[in-house]
Amino acid sequence: MKTQRMLLASLAAFALSASRGVAADVSVSVFYDALEPHGEWIEVSDYGYVWTPRGVDADWRPYTDG
């Protein structure tokens, strides 16, 4: 939950600065670093790096449960 709030706050700050025409200095590593303790990043040939969470069922799929 804390990670989701941090991610949403980062996205909101970026969107706000972009809407004001202010250059945002946001690195992609913010998202990698925030998610990394809760899962792992794996490289998938068709997509590049994707994040997969730890501690979920083998048949877990994003956006299907709430």
pLDDT of 24-43, one tens digit each? 677 778 888 888 889 998 89
Number of domains in the chain: 1
Residue 31 belongs to some domain of the structure? yes
Residue 15 belongs to some domain of the structure? yes
Are 34 and 5 in contact by the 8 Å Cβ rule? The answer is no
Residue 42 belongs to some domain of the structure? yes
Are 6 and 37 in contact by the 8 Å Cβ rule? The answer is no
Q: What is the pLDDT of residue 32?
A: 84
What average pLDDT does the structure give for the chain?
A: 76
Residue 60 belongs to some domain of the structure? no
Residue 63 belongs to some domain of the structure? no
Q: How does residue 20 score in pLDDT terms, banded at 50, 70 and 90?
A: low
> Could you tell me the residue range of the domain that residue 32 belongs to?
2-53
